[in-house]
Amino acid sequence: MVRTGFGMIIGAQPDMEVVGEAADGVEAVAAARRLRPDVALFDIRMPKMDGLQALKLLAGPGVPDPVKIVVVTTFDLDEYVHQALRNGAAGFLLKDSGPALLVEAVRAAVSGDALISPSVTVRLLKHLATPAQPAEDGGLSPRELDVVRLTARGATNAEIATELFISVGTVKTHLGSVHAKLGTRNRVEIAAWAWERRLLG
Query: What would the pLDDT profile of 23-40 be if each residue is shown by its tens digit?
Result: 898 999 999 999 999 899
Residues 83 and 20 in one domain: yes
Contact between 160 and 148 under an 8 Å Cβ cutoff? The reply is no
Burial 100-131 (b: 16+ CB within 10 A, else e): ebbebbbebbeeebbbbbeebbeebbeebeee
Is 133 among the domain residues?
no
Residues 93 and 148 in one domain: no
With a cut of 90, say whether residue 197 has pLDDT above it. Answer: no
Is 40 among the domain residues?
yes
Is 44 among the domain residues?
yes
Q: Is 69 helix (H, G, I), strand (E, B) or coil?
A: strand
Q: Can you spell out the DSSP letters for 1-39?
A: -HHHHHHHHHHTSTT-------SSHHHHHHHHHHH--S-
What CATH number does residue 80 fall under? Answer: 3.40.50.2300
Query: What would the pLDDT profile of 104-148 be if each residue is shown by its tens digit?
Result: 888 878 877 666 665 565 555 555 544 445 557 778 999 999 999
What CATH number does residue 170 fall under? Answer: 1.10.10.10
Q: Is 94 helix (H, G, I), strand (E, B) or coil?
A: strand
Residues 105 and 147 in one domain: no
pLDDT of res. 129: 46
Confidence of residue 92 (pLDDT cuts 50, 70, 90): confident
Between 47 and 1, the more confident residue is 47
Residues 149 and 110 in one domain: no
How is residue 186 annotated by DSSP? S
How is residue 70 annotated by DSSP? E
Contact between 182 and 190 under an 8 Å Cβ cutoff? The reply is yes
Q: Where does a domain end: 81, 101, 116? A: 116
Q: Where does a domain end: 65, 100, 116? A: 116
For residue 99, the enclosing domain spans 1-116
Is 134 among the domain residues?
no
* Domain tally, the chain: 2
Residue 166: burial class (beta carbons within 10 Å; 0-12, 13-18, 19+):
middle
Neighbours of 156 (CB within 10 A): 16
